[in-house]
Amino acid sequence: MFKAILLSKTDSGVDAQLTELDEAQLPEQNVTVRVEYSTLNYKDGLAITNKAPIVRQYPFVPGIDFAGTVEQSDDPNWKAGDKVILNGWGVGESHWGGYAEKARVKGEWLVPLPESLSSRQAMAIGTAGYTAMLCVMRLEALGVTPDKGEILVTGANGGVGSIAIAILAKLGYNVVASTGRVNEAEHLKALGATSVIDRAELSSQGKPLVKSRWAGAVDTVGSHTLANICASMNYGGVVTACGLAQGMDFPATVAPFILRGVTLAGVDSVYAPIETRIEAWKRLATDLDAGKLEAVSQEVALSEVIESANHIIEGKIRGRLIVKVA
């Protein structure tokens, strides 16, 4: 038997409980992992609170990422004792996830834990940090170098935003943080932001084009915010879009793209190819200051996840929540 958070469908909605499961209840896949740490992401919060249809089959174990040790494997690429990370592939959405002391998954979904990272550090990074690294890699691939100008990061106090700031700052970029909690400006500057702006400057309906300012951007918000970012990019600037905290809509015009040559680059963390995943985790092990990572992280027990899920939906969580599972 092992502990897990189980979501069950009821007449009144979805019930989330910390319970015990038998290993025979795990899904049928070829690698069993003893989960040590997971994280609490916004998507996990939506799943547990049932604020959005993240989970469509019940009963279900949520948790979109985890780090741990292989316990048993029928995949030739993995053996008992291997340290692994999992992000994406529908885990925590359509396949049982990381909020359990054991998980059974496809071997092809796993990535080796870099030797310089512990399981806890990997989940301090988690899907949020991995997504942030994918955004940085996309900016680099599209020619956005530190000498090009300011980089805007929205949702700066969230998991993706805070780690994106830390990575970009270490790489020498001039980072401007956008947040609804400007009272936490000093915290964002400690991560590496050179200045902080109120998200209200970007969140309302704007004009098709405004004065150009940004060489690049990491946007976790979407909706009017993303449209206003595109409208204020420098000529040839690049916007990486990876979130929809404000909304899924994109009320923009083609003006920034045909008049300023702006690139809007979508970043997906769920189905990124294995080569990209391995490269991102290698980069995270070297391009992210461990001290700054600890500064944006706090740890909760598996028993505290359900309560914390409500807090993350209410916008009360700053930075990263690490879940100690084992």
Q: Where are the alpha helices (DSSP H) in 58-184?
A: 119-141, 159-170
The count of other CB atoms within 10 Å of the CB of residue 310 is 13
Pull the structure tokens for residue 109: 């979904």
Phi–psi pair at 214, nearest 5 degrees: -100, 135
What's residue 13's pLDDT?
Answer: 86
d(CA 196, CA 155): 11
What's residue 279's pLDDT?
Answer: 96
| Side-chain-side CA neighbours of residue 223 (13 Å) | 14
Phi–psi pair at 226, nearest 5 degrees: -65, -40
d(CA 92, CA 94): 6
What's residue 291's pLDDT?
Answer: 83
Domains along the chain with CATH numbers: 2-113+296-324 (3.90.180.10), 127-266 (3.40.50.720)
d(CA 115, CA 83): 9
What's residue 184's pLDDT?
Answer: 86
Below-50 pLDDT ranges, the chain: none
Predicted TM-score (pTM) of this structure: 0.90
Tell me if 192 sits within 8 A of 166, measured CB to CB: yes
Distance of CA 145 to the CA centre of its chain: 23
Output DSSP code: residue 222. Answer: B
What's residue 158's pLDDT?
Answer: 85
Of 135, 130, 320, 126, whose CA–CA distance to 218 is shortest? 135
Pairing type for strands 214-219 and 13-21 reads unpaired
